[in-house]
Amino acid sequence: MPNVYDFDETIVYPNGGVAFVRFVMKRYPRLKRYYPRMGREGVRHKICRKSGKPFKAEFYLFLKSLPNWENEVRLFWELHARQMLRPWYLAQKRPDDIIVSDSADFLLRPLCGQLGVRLVATRVNTATGRLIGPDCHGPEKVRRLREEFGNVEVEEFYSDSLLDAPLAKLAKRAFLVNMDERLPWPEENLQAKNIP
């Protein structure tokens, strides 16, 4: 049985998507023209998450103006993976681990390949910067995990967010992550309504 992990602020710190955006904006200052739209998308994203509505973002529109996004992602992880990955995760990492994240698949796939783990993430069309399907968040994480791996049994689940209760409910043991602290998942959160 695999262990399943959220990504941002669970096994990496800080948020990988935000760190990547800062990285490319520093390297390509002309891309800052996308900031106003990204700001609006970020606000919409937070509102949609709280309401539980599906969200289709245009947060990564800058990709179409990035000369070589694949090279930028590779360089980003070369320079930042070591300091961003949490030592506790690297110490317990297994080859059957599955990362299930609402971060962009194009960003996480190279790192997961290096780590030798599997990935389920928000699909992004790198030619347009638009999402393909809904944000991989909340109950959508469970749907996507099952789509990719069937009715996989989960040994342990780790996340920094109580909004990941649908995945926590699937696991034999679930842990809430706060930096390097891993505490048992609050039982009352698992009993909440609207968890599949």
pLDDT computed for residue 40 by the predictor: 75
- Checking if the pLDDT of 144 tops 80, the result is yes
Q: How does residue 56 score in pLDDT terms, banded at 50, 70 and 90? A: low
Rounded to an integer, the average pLDDT of 18-46 is 84
Q: How does residue 114 score in pLDDT terms, banded at 50, 70 and 90? A: very high
Q: How does residue 57 score in pLDDT terms, banded at 50, 70 and 90? A: low
DSSP-assigned letters across all residues of 54-91: -----TTGGGGGSTTHHHHHHHHHHHHHHHHB-HHHHH
Rounded to an integer, the average pLDDT of 18-39 is 88
pLDDT computed for residue 50 by the predictor: 54
pLDDT computed for residue 46 by the predictor: 66
Domain 4-190 has CATH 3.40.50: yes
Mean of pLDDT over the chain: 89
Q: How does residue 49 score in pLDDT terms, banded at 50, 70 and 90? A: low
pLDDT computed for residue 189 by the predictor: 74
Higher pLDDT, 39 or 80: 80
Other Cβ atoms closer than 10 A to 8: 21
Supply 67's token pair: 């000369």
User: CA separation (Å) from 158 to 3, 42, 120?
Assistant: 8, 24, 15
Q: Considering the entire predicted model, what is its pTM?
A: 0.89
pLDDT computed for residue 51 by the predictor: 46
